[in-house]
Amino acid sequence: MKFKPGDQVSFLSEKRDGIVRKILKDGLVSVEIEDGFEIPVMPKELIKIGTDGRVDLPDDYEVPTEHHSTNTSDNIQKHEPPKYEDMPDEEEAITTALLDDKSFKKNGIYLCFEPVKDPGKDIQFYRLYLVNKTDYDVLFTCFLMENDTYKAFTYDAVAASSKYLLEEISAKDIASWAQMLFQFLFYTERKQPVKEPLSIEKRLKVSKLFKNEAFTFYPIIGFSCYLTPIFEDVVAEEWPEEAWAQEKIIEVPARDIRLLLEPKIHVEKIDPKHVTSPYIAEVDLHIEQLYERAAELNNHDKLKLQIDYFTKTLDAAIAHKFKKITYIHGVGQGILKENIAHIINESYKGIKIQDAPLRKYGMGATEVIIPFNLVY
């Protein structure tokens, strides 16, 4: 028996009714039961309930022998099915597949804000999507900050390589989405490593959403939007073997850190976009974040540009008394991470390094700790 979203159904094996919300892969259907939970069910375990209370039995249904009644409908408990006034139309899919875009190298989960404008080109509202650019199906819960505490907003699942319409938000209400908390569980039937559950806070500078330059067309999404990561891994960059063999650890001359601590020595401040809280910063060293025409550079020049920006921001952090700076370098081939460790060990004596929190960054970031009593 075929079902579609909105069908009212009853379970054959138990006294329970529900309503079909989604058609899942592998032939399963997602049924919302009376308490609001959705559960996956095989179609053969369900019967359809008509608006008049009659049931539509599958062709192979057998009347239970332990009952004397020959009226099949007498053997099935009838309950008033739950009513849903705002059920989406069948064609209005909440989850849609991402488009094929080989240039989008990163894997992760993102928030996507699509602006919807009126004829006067003012933003009326935003469509907010949860973008799952991973090979895993993801179960998620979303919480919003309300009166200094997180309040549950919704929960659901989003398939691998898909985007999920989370909410439509009016422009005047966008500030209520400035601080969020997401929890993720990852599932796949493919032979892939088990991915640890994640719980991640996401802070949003909502002022960006009122600037035209914040919106970019992403082929993988299919429209212009503001795309911001909740978390991301990095697909290893494919370097030809011969080019890889030529890459060397870049030597940085030993520097006298005492000069950075001298008040008379001017050292440029860290760009405010990197400052996450007082005296704490986060710097993304992915090449596309540092140079707009990154595709024009060879691998050696990309690496040198990343190292130069790393040393520049670290010098600034030391000079201006920062406590911690986290460098996001991705997983990749590991060469940038190796450079960072080498340079600090050779040229920044007294500075400490460690892997950044796995839950937030995966294996793709390094924390640099600057002691408050750094003296030479």
Per-residue model confidence as pLDDT tens digits over 43-88: 877 888 765 555 555 555 454 444 444 444 444 344 444 443 444 4
Residue 375 belongs to a domain: no
Same domain for 258 and 202: no
Let me know: does 181 contact 143? Beta carbons within 8 Å. yes
Contact 199, 163 (CB under 8 A): no
227 and 254 inside one domain: no
Same structural domain, 192 and 265: no
Packing angle, helices 335-347 and 299-319, rounded to 10: 40
Residue 341 in any domain: the answer is yes
Of the candidates 284, 279, 244, 270, the residue with the CA atom closest to the CA atom of residue 365:
284
- Residue 66 sits in the same domain as residue 190: no
For residues 287 and 365, membership in a common domain is answered with yes
Domain closes at, from 217, 234, 251: 234
Within 8 A by CB and 6+ apart from 28, the residues are: 40, 41, 42, 43
Nearest one of 341, 121, 113, 357 to 249, comparing CA atoms: 341
Quick check: is 374 in a domain?
no
Same-domain pairing of 166 and 219: yes
Q: Has residue 82 been placed in a domain?
A: no
- The per-residue pLDDT for 248 is 54
In a domain, residue 210? The reply is: yes
Residue 262 lies in a domain: yes
How far is Cα 70 from Cα 73, in angstroms, rounded to an integer? 9
Check whether residue 250 and residue 356 sit in a common domain: yes
pLDDT for position 39: 78
Q: Which of these three, 215, 234, 253, is where a domain ends?
A: 234
Q: Across-strand partners of 183?
A: 141, 199
Same domain, yes or no: 251 and 221: no
Per the structure, the complete domain to which residue 360 belongs is given by 241-369
- Residue 306 in any domain: the answer is yes
Which residue from 305, 298, 376, 310 is spatially nearest to 341, judged by alpha carbons? 310
Q: Do 220 and 251 lie in a common domain? A: no
Neighbours of 10 (CB within 10 A): 19
Residue with tokens 């009212």, as numbered in its chain: 8
Residue 292 has which token pair? 């707009």
From CA 77, how far away is CA 45, in angstroms rounded? Answer: 15
Whichever domain contains 213, its CATH number is: 2.60.40.1600
Query: 81 in a domain, yes or no?
Result: no
Q: In this predicted structure, what is the pLDDT of residue 91?
A: 37
* CATH code assigned at 311: 3.30.1370.110
Low-confidence ranges of the chain (pLDDT < 50): 61, 63-92, 235-237, 239, 241, 244-245, 376
Count up the domains in the chain and report the number: 3
* Residue keyed to tokens 């401040």: 269
Question: In this structure, are 227 and 253 located in the same domain?
Answer: no
Please check whether residues 156 and 129 belong to one and the same domain: yes
Same domain flag for 121 and 230: yes
| Domain boundary pick from 234, 269, 299 | 234
- The Cα 365–Cα 331 span in angstroms is 8
